[in-house]
Chain A
Amino acid sequence: MNRLALFIPLALFFGLSLVLLLGLDKDPTELPSALVGEAFPPFNLPSLKDEQNVVTEQDFNGEVVLVNVWATWCFACRIEHPMLNKLSEQGVKIIGLNYKDQRAGALAWLVERGDPYQFNIFDAKGRLGIDLGVYGAPETYLVDADGIIRYRRVGVVDDRVWESEFRAIYEQITGTEQ
């Protein structure tokens, strides 16, 4: 009995090691999403291309859309952009949320790199960003036909992320095979 007790520290050590080891796979910068399952927050903001044109969540037209948060100052958005172009070609509807950016630079970006967006929301002050809980760019939200946020990705969406995280939910809520 006493002899077995000697192994308790060793067992504790291995237990702790196991917990720490499992923790290595977690990304500490990834926050749990508070908005998944909630309605996309209502907004009322100018569009990027036309200052006079005000867009709201009604402009999603009750369709399944990806809302992509981007800005010209965001380096990772450059890496992500070709993937958005590709998804758009495949028929995925993407709404841009141009976040805390400058209009001229953002418009030039779309000319230079292609425009995968249905339209862009111009959120210069980041108010919609706060309502969405945006804390970094890029971020991508999958919104269903009822305007409910079904998935959120903080960081770049690439082929791997699309296949492993978005595709199944996207096909389920659109009822299509892509």
Chain B
Amino acid sequence: MKLAILLLLSVFTFAASTEVIGSPEAIESPEAIERTEAIKGAEVVAFSDESLRPRYQQLLQELRCPKCQNQNLADSNSPISQDLRREIQRMLEEQMTDKQIKDYLKSRYSEFILYRPEVNKNTWLLWGSPVLVVLLGLLILLRHNRKPEPSAENEVPTASNEVPTAIRGAGATDKEAPTNSSDQQRLAELLGDKENQQ
């Protein structure tokens, strides 16, 4: 079963990876590549006021690179991320608030760019699911703990319950050992019943 799931998953992954072919190219103008080469990943950002830096870092953590979708702007070194970092720096220098900056980017790149999405009609389930799962867990736990209480359904005697009693009753005392044929027959029936049950 595990193997089957793994196989199934690998098929999904393969199918998903082929999707990428034919997608639009990443933005990599020669100019941008040159710039990247020159800096070699070490981007020096100068702020007029050092108190802007923590906010800058925080925003880069929370905003997603539109092209390289599993990286945020801090991690990604794609040209589009470099441009957006520059834009964010500019907006911080212009005394825009974090919310204004996020709204600015959201209006252009859609909600997709927010790694911490707002709560709205599309995302309430996403935000609410941890709470729902915890509630579900509590519910299951409560039901589980109550189980030992005898309930009518569990106490209904079944054929398989009766048979061992009959055998025990038959074999326990020699005095009452079945001797006549009708008893023998009954025992055979009961044993046969038991075998059928199994």
Interface, chain A (partner B; CB < 8 A): 17, 20, 24, 27-29, 31-35, 38, 71, 73-76, 99-102, 124, 126, 129-139, 154-156
Asked if B47 is at the interface of the complex by the 8 Å CB criterion, the answer is: no
Q: Which of A29, A38, A126 contacts B23 (CB 8 A)?
A: A29
Q: Once the chains bind, are A130 and B83 in contact (CB under 8 Å)? A: yes
Q: Once the chains bind, are A34 and B109 in contact (CB under 8 Å)? A: yes
Q: Once the chains bind, are A138 and B24 in contact (CB under 8 Å)? A: yes
Interface segment, B11-19, B48-56, B93-101, B131-139?
B11-19
Q: Once the chains bind, are B15 and A135 in contact (CB under 8 Å)? A: no
27 residue pairs of the A-B complex, CB under 8 angstroms, read A27-B19, A27-B23, A29-B23, A29-B24, A29-B69, A31-B66, A31-B109, A31-B112, A34-B106, A34-B109, A71-B29, A73-B30, A76-B25, A100-B29, A100-B31, A100-B32, A102-B31, A129-B83, A131-B108, A134-B27, A135-B109, A136-B24, A136-B67, A137-B24, A137-B27, A154-B24, A155-B23
Chain B residues with CB under 8 Å of A156's CB are: 22, 24
Asked if B118 is at the interface of the complex by the 8 Å CB criterion, the answer is: no
Contact with A along B54-88 (1 / 0, CB 8 A): 00000000000011010000000001100110010
Secondary structure at chain B's binding surface: helix, strand, loop or mixed? helix
Residue on B nearest A135 in the bound complex, by CB = B66
Q: With A and B bound together, what is the CA distance between A101 and B20 in angstroms?
A: 25
Q: Once the chains bind, are A130 and B23 in contact (CB under 8 Å)? A: no
- Closest chain B CB from A42 CB (angstroms): 14
Secondary structure at chain A's binding surface: helix, strand, loop or mixed? loop
Known: A20-B12, A31-B112. A73 touches B83 (CB 8 A): no
Size of interface on B: residues with Cβ below 8 Å to A? 32
- Closest chain A CB from B98 CB (angstroms): 18
Q: Once the chains bind, are A126 and B108 in contact (CB under 8 Å)? A: no
Q: With A and B bound together, what is the CA distance between A29 and B8 in angstroms?
A: 23
Q: Once the chains bind, are B24 and A24 in contact (CB under 8 Å)? A: no
Q: With A and B bound together, what is the CA distance between A74 and B15 in angstroms?
A: 26
Q: Once the chains bind, are B24 and A155 in contact (CB under 8 Å)? A: yes
Residue on B nearest A138 in the bound complex, by CB = B24
Q: With A and B bound together, what is the CA distance between A137 and B15 in angstroms?
A: 24
Q: Once the chains bind, are A137 and B25 in contact (CB under 8 Å)? A: yes
Q: Which of B8, B25, B108 contacts A34 (CB 8 A)?
A: B108
Q: With A and B bound together, what is the CA distance between A130 and B91 in angstroms?
A: 13
Q: CB within 8 Å of A: which of B1-44?
A: 8, 12, 15-16, 19-20, 22-32
Q: With A and B bound together, what is the CA distance between A38 and B110 in angstroms?
A: 12
Q: With A and B bound together, what is the CA distance between A20 and B9 in angstroms?
A: 10
Known: A33-B110, A100-B79, A126-B83. A24 touches B25 (CB 8 A): no
Known: A28-B69, A34-B109, A34-B110. A136 touches B29 (CB 8 A): no
Known: A27-B23, A154-B24, A155-B24. A132 touches B108 (CB 8 A): yes
Known: A33-B110, A34-B108. A28 touches B19 (CB 8 A): yes
Q: Which of B12, B19, B108 contacts A133 (CB 8 A)?
A: B108
Q: Which of B16, B25, B26, B84 contacts A130 (CB 8 A)?
A: B84
Q: Which of B23, B29, B109 contacts A73 (CB 8 A)?
A: B29
Known: A74-B25, A130-B87, A136-B67. A31 touches B110 (CB 8 A): yes
Chain B residues with CB under 8 Å of A75's CB are: 25
Residue on B nearest A36 in the bound complex, by CB = B110
- Closest chain A CB from B37 CB (angstroms): 15
